[in-house]
Amino acid sequence: MASWTRTVCAAAAVASCFGSLTLAQAPSPVGRWRSFDDKTGQPKSIIEITEVNGELQGKVERVFSPPAPSANPLCDKCSGDRKNKPVIGMQMLWGMKKDGDEFAGGRLLEPETGKEVRGKLKLIDGGKKLEVRGFVGVAIAGRTTTWIRE
């Protein structure tokens, strides 16, 4: 009887281990990301992405100068409540929800232009990189940049 109990317990432990492997979570965009200047390729900023009530949000944590004119730039091209506010701490990504292998349905703010655009996010390279696509109208007419996980 003791041998049977040990066998059953060992089998349960193995099943438990394999079960937890299959339940492992897929990579998430939540975390810190380094963005890059499209023209120079230099690091532009650090963005902290969080998840709140099933939606992704991103705030600017740090700005690199150059390419920014200063390490503490103001959003002088923004309108409304963001006009002339510090870029650091500003929410620049919001409302993204999981949609298949992407996160979509949200908005992006481009502090350099002050424009708000629709956006999509997609993890690549095993979650080490994030494709960030901003567009007005249809996604085909947009621009994609790649961020690197910090």
Domain boundaries, the chain: 26-149
DSSP 74-90: B-TT--GGGTT-BSTT-
Number of Cβ within a 10 Å radius of residue 31: 14
Q: Give the residue among 49, 39, 68 at the shortest CA–CA distance from 145.
A: 39
Residue 140: predicted pLDDT: 82
Residue 133, classed as helix, strand or coil, is strand
| Element housing 123 (H / E) | strand 115-124
Residue 57, classed as helix, strand or coil, is strand
CA dihedral for 9, 14, 19, 24, sign (positive or negative): positive
State the pairing for strand pair 115-124/43-52.
Answer: unpaired
Q: From CA 42, how far away is CA 22, in angstroms rounded?
A: 39
Residue 38: predicted pLDDT: 84
Q: Is 114 left (phi over 0), alpha (psi -120 to 50) or beta?
A: left
Residue 69: predicted pLDDT: 85
Residue 14: predicted pLDDT: 41
CATH 2.40.30.10 fits 26-149, yes or no: no
Residue 91: predicted pLDDT: 97
Q: From CA 67, how far away is CA 44, in angstroms rounded?
A: 6
Q: What's the pLDDT tens digit per position in 3-49?
A: 444 443 444 444 444 444 445 677 999 999 999 998 899 999 999 99
Give φ, ψ of 128 to 5 degrees: -80, -20
Q: What's the pLDDT tens digit per position in 50-107?
A: 999 999 999 999 999 988 889 999 999 999 999 999 999 999 999 999 999 999 999 9
